[in-house]
Amino acid sequence: MTMDEHELTPAMGYVFSARWVDPCESLVSIFWKFARANSAAGHVMARLLGPEIDPYEGVAPRADVVDVRRLRHAFDVPPKMLYGSLIQTSKRGRCSDRLRRCHRCMGRGYHSVIHQFDRVDVCPAHHLPLETKCRRCGYEAPFVINVRLLEAPYRCANCRWAYGNKAYSPASHRPMTRAERIAICGKSYRLHFG
């Protein structure tokens, strides 16, 4: 696959489906799904964030920093879905600057914006404690979209140890169960309005 370095579109087209995106999924997780589906290099994907952003330094996935219009063009998903994948500016102080994740969610190819809230200590869907450190090397990844994070989908950016119990593939994507959707969406509602 050949890539146009100025845009994320490969010369022959790319593969991505809005059906792969689950409720409250983080932008990091959406990027990882894109990476898995297209074997796209991290520096090429990071350029999607804007020409003024250093792909190696990256940016926090916040609504006041990320240009949703640029992303919508590349991922071809509704803007509402992309806004929901970002940390809202008003919630910034209450969110972790480290990647917080659920082991089971990562195994199914999912990371939620909900996991980043400091007030959330366990995954609403699986009732497992959220982790920040790699189980193998202890590395704590910053919650920043940069080349290092993008080139390690669902794995530790330091040692490449899988965060989940199996590798995610878009070919074997299964949507969230009804119970998982209810738990994640309910927690999101309570965090924003309760």
Which pLDDT tens digit goes with each residue over 21-75?
999 999 999 999 999 998 889 998 898 888 889 999 999 999 988 989 888 888 8
Higher pLDDT, 6 or 127: 127
Minimal CA–CA distance to 34: which of 80, 93, 76? Answer: 76
pLDDT score at 160: 95
Asked if pLDDT for residue 156 goes beyond 90, the answer is: yes
What does each C-alpha distance from 47 to 26, 54, 145, 156, 191 come to in angstroms?
Answer: 18, 8, 11, 22, 31
Measure Cα distances from 121 to 12, 85, 90 in Å: 43, 19, 20
The pLDDT value given to residue 2: 44
Q: Are 107 and 123 in contact (CB under 8 A)?
A: no
pLDDT above 70: residue 193: yes
Task: State the helix-helix crossing angle for 27-38 and 68-75, rounded to 10 degrees.
Answer: 30
DSSP string, 17-41: -GGGPPTTB-HHHHHHHHHHHHT--
Report residue 13's pLDDT band, with 50, 70 and 90 as the boundaries. low
Q: Determine the 3-state secondary structure of 76 from DSSP.
A: coil
Tens digits of per-residue pLDDT, 79-137?
Answer: 999 999 999 877 545 899 999 999 999 999 999 999 999 999 999 999 999 999 999 99
C-alpha 101/C-alpha 135 separation (Å) is 12
The pTM (predicted TM-score) of the whole model is 0.90
Q: What are the residue boundaries of the structural domains of the chain, listed by start? A: 18-193
